[in-house]
Amino acid sequence: MPAFPSPLPESAIVATLRAAGCVFAGDEARLLLAEARTPAGLADMVDRRAAGQPLEHVLGWAEFCGLRMAVDPGVFVPRRRTEFLVRQAAALARQAADPADPADPADPAGRAGPGGQTPRRARLVVVDLCCGSGAVGAALAAILGQVELHAVDIDPAAVRCARRNVAAAGGQVYEGDLCAPLPATLRGRVDILIANAPYVPTEEVGMLPPEARLHEPRVALDGGADGLDILRRVTAAAPRWLAPGGHLLFETSERQAPQAVAAVTRSGLIPHVASSGQLNATIVAGARPAAAGGPGG
């Protein structure tokens, strides 16, 4: 229901959106009507959507893991498939918090995960690298309850947006390159290092749908020649930051997974791949062995 008598009938909005190529024109029209605060605001939203702006940028939010995350124009829109990364991280985090909990998501028999057992912790430390809107870290914090959350992005627009989403979890957002802006006190203390970094190979950025190509920044998409440039850097840095028994997790394509696993192995972490056919998602994880001595890497 709109907050005012709408000068535009719903059917006219649906027709405009359909003519602009919006497949779910009916659902989108209802969302725009519910979100607009004034008739002029509604007309502007319909125009922007019909001109090809992502629905989430027009609404100002995206649904992610059942939560409403603020997403500003020019900031990467969190994808449904990334909910799989969050769920995998939540399962591994619960295991780190309580080693008696048979929560290895890849192990239906419930044996200890690849990192082995870790001491019970009251408040897990979570770092969300390449955080964009902050949706990944904020959703993980909402699932886990009490966590110490730190998030980083290189793009000032993303950092501003993430501060709004991460605030609910009492988290901190830093601007800078990967781990560089993190406080040194986090070294060797991170239970979950999660990174949905850019992983599209440079040559394929031009083939992305226009909503991504034209409305999301290139720095959010381009992962270098094979798409793994940033993830290799994240993987190389991870052992310095992970606690014993802590986990690195990131999203890749299915095709990239073997190379990503090789990078995880080179960094001294124990690799693990999981995928969801339903969400068309692949994640690669790396566990720091629980018995390791001081932080390496």
Ligand X SMILES: C[S@@+](CC[C@H](N)C(=O)[O-])C[C@H]1O[C@@H](n2cnc3c(N)ncnc32)[C@H](O)[C@@H]1O
Does 230 help bind ligand X (rule: CB under 6 A)?
yes
Stretch that binds ligand X, among 13-21, 42-50, 86-94, 149-157 (CB under 6 A): 149-157
Q: Which two tokens stand for residue 28?
A: 């989108």
**In a 3-state reduction of DSSP, which class is residue 138?**
helix
Using rule CB under 6 A, residue 238 touches ligand X: no
Query: What's the CA angle centered on 100, arms 135 and 136, to 5 degrees?
Result: 5
Q: Nearest distance from residue 231's CB to ligand X, in Å?
A: 10
Helix (H) or strand (E) holding 127: strand 124-129
Q: Which is nearer to ligand X, 12 or 214 (CB)?
A: 214
Q: Could you say which DSSP state residue 2 is in? A: -
Looking at this protein, which amino acid is placed at residue 228? Answer: L
Q: Which of 114, 198, 201, 245 binds ligand X (CB under 6 A)?
A: 198
**Least separation in angstroms between CB 199 and ligand X:** 7
State which of positions 204-223 bind ligand X (CB under 6 A): 219-220
d(CA 146, CA 270): 27
Q: Check residue 222 and report its DSSP letter.
A: B
Closest CB to ligand X among 36 and 192? 192
Determine the residue type at 294.
G
**Considering the rule CB under 6 A, would residue 159 count as an interface residue with ligand X?**
no
Residue 178 interacts with ligand X (CB under 6 A)? Answer: yes
Q: How many CB atoms lie within 10 A of CB 229?
A: 17
- Stretch of 18-26, 97-105, 194-202, 262-270 lying at the interface with ligand X (CB under 6 A): 194-202
Spatial separation of the C-alpha atoms in residues 170 and 283, rounded to whole Å: 27
Residue closer to ligand X, measured from CB, 112 or 236: 236
261 neighbors 226 (Cβ within 8 angstroms): no
Q: For residues 120 and 56, give the distance between their C-alpha atoms in angstroms, rounded to a whole number.
A: 39
In angstroms, what is the minimal distance from the CB of 61 to ligand X? Answer: 13
Least separation in angstroms between residue 264's CB and ligand X is 18
DSSP state of 77: P
Q: Is position 269 an interface residue for ligand X (rule: CB under 6 A)?
A: no
Q: Of residues 22, 25, 82, 256, which one binds ligand X by CB under 6 A?
A: 82
Q: Does 151 bind ligand X (CB under 6 A)?
A: no
Q: Is 158 in the site for ligand X (CB under 6 A)?
A: yes
Segment near ligand X (CB under 6 A), from 2-10, 49-57, 154-162, 282-290?
A: 154-162
Q: How many CA atoms lie within 13 A of 183 on its CB side?
A: 10
User: From the CB of 116, what's the least distance to ligand X, in Å?
Assistant: 28
By Cβ distance, which residue is nearest to ligand X? 132
Q: Provide the token pair at 273.
A: 């791949």
Is 285 a binding residue for ligand X by CB under 6 A? The answer is: no
113 in Cβ contact with 89 (< 8 Å): no
Which uninterrupted H or E stretch holds 46? Answer: helix 39-50
AA letter at 167: A
SS3 content of the chain, % helix, strand, coil (to 5): 40, 20, 40
Tell me how far, at minimum, the Cβ of 206 lies from ligand X, in Å. 16
Q: Which residues bind ligand X (CB under 6 A)?
A: 76, 78, 82, 130-133, 135-136, 152-155, 158, 177-178, 196-198, 219-220, 230
